[in-house]
A and B are shown apart, each in its own frame.
Chain A
Amino acid sequence: MELKEVTKTEGTMDIQDILKPENLVYQKTKLLTDTPMHYCPGCSHGVVHKILAELIDEMGIQERSVGVAPVGCAVFAYNYIDIDWQEAAHGRAPAVATGIARVNPDAFVFTYQGDGDLASIGAAEIMHACNRGENILVVFINNGIYGMTGGQMAPTTLEGMVTATTPYGRNTDLNGYPMRITNLIAQLPGTSYVTRQAVHTAGGVRKCKRALKKAIQNVLDKKGTSFVEVVSTCNSGWKLSPVAANKWMEENMIPYYPLGDMKDSVKGEHSEN
């Protein structure tokens, strides 16, 4: 810290008088490892990792937690959150998580998947895991693109959106429509809590954390599959600065993928709204 003294409007206060342990209000959770994340600057993945790590710590479930990492930019998630992990083949995380959760009924098992992983190659696995009501949490990072492989169109890519494989924008006649897969999942009786969140503002991060907490609690209470979509940015794939990507997401993604809870129930009860 280079700044030595701060002149506050109501008198002088040495900054060292503020930087004291008793005044600490926010710091990195110990569940995040010291390994620097490989994500591009400003990527939503880092924020979602962080709130998951905070919750696992705050809820005291580190020893019971097993994450299943995807293929996609989050493939190295196991390097960053200090819990047990299993890496799955592309799109197969819900099937792998099914096995882990069934043989370890007291574990907290979750998948962490991108939109290419979950809604494209893994569409069958996610639908059937949710339909079976597996007792897992699914964290779904919807950034509207295949980030890892260089920004190709995903099922979630918006109409008209330019990607590496849609240089003239997504054409619905050729490419079909952007898929609101979370709405489909909310229809399945196996799911308990289904919600769509975003982490582009501090308020959004706090809300998303509350939603994830409820979803984790549902898994601990064996209520069925909980599903949390996080509308996210891929500023590299979108070819925007991180701050511009957040704004673009707010103006373009959120109107098509509106935020909020879609279902709050227990498995077997068909009460999506």
Chain B
Amino acid sequence: MARVIGAVVVDKEECKGCSVCVDACPHDVLALHFEVNSKGYHYSYMKSPEACVGCANCGVVCPDTCITVYRTKAS
């Protein structure tokens, strides 16, 4: 059966580590990384990529528009 799967790419240099995307993800895909970017922010990343469905909630709520979202179907 076809299943919706997704993936996101976070522009880690633009990310300000606000965590709003982490909170908005319905599948607990995202988390803030232990490492920081050059601005000193713990950037968002896919901690559990297998759970992403590509719903784009994270991208939509990001104030700095640093998330690009992809979605497809896997059989």
Contacts and interface: CB of A to CB of B under 8 A. Distances in A.
A49 B10 CA distance: 19
Interface string A222-254: 000000000000000000011100100000000
Contact of B5 (A13, A36, A45): A13
* Majority DSSP secondary structure for residues of B touching A: mixed
B64 to A, nearest CB: 6
Contacts of B72: 17-18, 20, 23
A39 interface: yes
Contacts of B45: 2-3
B12 to A, nearest CB: 9
A60 to B, nearest CB: 20
Contact of B63 (A19, A20, A47): A47
A227 B45 CA distance: 37
Interface string A1-42: 111001111110101011110011111110010001101111
A24 B7 CA distance: 10
B29 to A, nearest CB: 11
A13 B5 CA distance: 10
B20 A242 contact: yes
B61 A3 contact: no
B30 interface: no
A44 B18 CA distance: 11
Nearest to A44: B63
Contact of B17 (A6, A23, A41, A46): A41
B24 A202 contact: yes
B46 interface: yes
B18 A47 contact: no
The 8 closest A-B pairs by CB, nearest first: A46-B63, A42-B18, A41-B16, A41-B18, A202-B57, A26-B69, A26-B56, A26-B59
B19 A42 contact: yes
Contact of B7 (A2, A19, A27, A32): A19
A201 interface: yes
Contact of A25 (B23, B54, B62): B54
B70 A201 contact: no
Given A8-B50, A26-B56, A46 B23 contact: no
A206 interface: yes
A141 B69 CA distance: 27
Contact of B19 (A8, A43, A241): A241
B14 interface: yes
B69 A36 contact: no
Given A8-B74, A26-B60, A3 B46 contact: yes
A205 interface: yes
Given A39-B63, A201-B24, 9 more contacts: A8-B74, A10-B3, A18-B6, A18-B54, A24-B68, A26-B59, A37-B63, A42-B18, A42-B63
